[in-house]
Structure 1
Amino acid sequence: MINKNHGTDYENIRLDRSGQAEAFDVIGDRYDEAFPHKEGQVAAADWLIGSLAAGARVLDLGCGTGVPTARQLADAGFEVVGVDLSGGMVKLAREYVPGATFHQLDLADLRPGGPRDLGRFDAVAAFFSLLMLPRAEIPLALLTVRHLLVPGGLFVLSMVEADVDDFSIPFLGRTIRVSGYLLEDLRKVIETAGFEIAEESSYTYAPAVADVPPEEQVFLCCRRLD
């Protein structure tokens, strides 16, 4: 069952972002250097490009530097809006993708009744952004994504397949906290939030730096159910 009246649910959990944005402020361009090959991410964005009408409005949630996704979507002629918690990442994204609009925002700010309303979107992309949240918040985040989409809107996301919750890991010289699911559990979370999974793929990925271990990346291409 889809809980459509979830706006107040954010009031019942403690949002702890301590250190998360600061880590990515420092990491900056080194993130793209550590993850130079993003075939799965590019392919999922290509699915959006092939599925959307010309001039569609797309939200890049957790946009990072804007490369490759915001740039890829903007180059395809879409109206692209990107949001990220890290001010440093937003600054880079504005430099790298001048054809898109970027905001330094928390996903929780976009919830129904939240402090910011960016309107509705034909599609939302969330590549490796939901994994920065504790598991208790991920269902709320997914319902917020659903709220941001027009009926029948498209949603592409990626996660690292791992059975962890708000787990601290070293990452490019900093410490961040991540969450994940085993694939079958991730499917259930996505479907419970009101999405149909149209396509999925996975990639075993070895980052180009020594302090980030190989990971299994999962990409889901979804559609909002009305």
Structure 2
Amino acid sequence: MINSNHGADYESVLRDRKGQAEAFDAIGDRYDEAFPHKEGQVTAGDWLIGSLREGARVLDLGCGTGVPTARQLADAGFEVVGADLSARMVELASGYVPGATFHQLDLADLRPGGPRDLGRFDAVAAFFSLLMLPRAEIPLALRTVRHLLVPGGLFVLSMVEADVDDFAIPFLGNTIRVSGYLKEDLHKVIAEAGFEIVKETSYTYAPAVTDVPPEEQVFLCCRRCD
């Protein structure tokens, strides 16, 4: 059983994310330059496109510049809503994908009983956004995603496979904090949050910059269990 009334739990683990937001404000356009090839992300987006009804409502959590996911989904005719903690990323996304609607907010704002309500969605995408949270928050974030989905809704996400928790790393001239799981542990966290994994792919990815090491990216296509 999924307990959707976890607002108090969020308050106890929520971290100050000012530094994370400032880092991505500074990175801006350079993010897409550093990560020019996003095959796994595009492939997961294609899975959503092939699985959803025409005109479905989709939320892109941690949308970044809106490229490629928000643009890909908007071009497919979906009603796309994007959300990101970084004001600069929201500004860029609004320019790159004028057919979508973007909001500057924290995922925690969307929790049941939280300060923001964007309604319900047929699908949610969270590409490399959950890894910006400490592990204590990730199960709560996943339950929030489940809360945002209609029954049977779809969820695509990506993480970097790594056994780390709230670990500081240099990133494009800034410092960010990241978390990750080994695959078996990630599967367990996803299942416990009320999702069935329908499809999984992995890619070894080498960014186009020298200060970000190669990484093993895991993409999961999931369905909300009801």
What TM-score do the two structures reach when normalised by structure 1? Answer: 0.99
User: Tell me, what secondary structure is at the counterpart of 1:212?
Assistant: coil
Deviations 1:183-204 (A, max 9, x none): 0000000000000000000000
Q: How does 1:136-175 map to 2 (within 5 A)?
A: 136-175=136-175
* Residue in 2 that maps onto 1:16: 16
Instruction: Output the CA distance in 1 between the equivalents of 2:169 and 2:61.
Output: 22
Match of 2:74 in 1: 74
State the partner residue of 2:25: 25
Q: Secondary structure at the match of 1:165?
A: coil
Worse-matched range after superposition: 75-84 or 4-13: 4-13
How big is the shift at 1:216? Answer: 0.1
- Distance in 2, matches of 1:13 and 1:211, equals 30
- The number of equivalent residue pairs is 226
**Correspondence for 1:199:** 199
State the shift of 1:11 in Å.
1.8
1:8 deviates by 2.3
Structure 2 unaligned blocks of 5 or more: none
Residues 85-104 of structure 1 mapped to structure 2, 5 A cutoff? 85-104=85-104
CA distance in 1, matches of 2:155, 2:188: 15
Structure-2 residue corresponding to 1:47: 47
Query: Within 5 Å, which residues of 2 pair with 1:84-123?
Result: 84-123=84-123
Residue 177 of structure 1, CA deviation: 0.2
Percent identity of the aligned residues?
A: 87
Letter paired with 1:112? P
The answer for the alignment partner of 1:212 in structure 2 is 212
Q: 2:203·2:217 contact (CA, 8 Å) conserved in 1?
A: yes
Partners of 2:136 and 2:9 lie apart in 1 by 11
- The equivalent of 1:190 in structure 2 is 190
Backbone CA RMSD of aligned residues: 0.7
Question: What stretches of structure 1 move > 6 A for 4+ residues in a row?
Answer: none
* 1: CA distance, partners of 2:61 / 2:41: 13
Query: Secondary structure, in 3 states, of the residue corresponding to 1:53?
Result: coil
Residue 59 of structure 2 aligns to a residue whose secondary structure is: strand
> Do the aligned partners of 2:4 and 2:112 also contact (CA within 8 Å) in 1?
no
Is 2:94–2:102's contact at 8 Å kept on the other side of the alignment? yes
The separation in 2 between residues aligned to 1:14 and 1:142, in whole angstroms, is 14
Q: CA deviation at 1:169?
A: 0.1
Using the size of structure 2 for normalisation, the TM-score is: 0.99
Q: Deviations over 1:71-96 (max 9, x none)?
A: 00000000000000000000000000
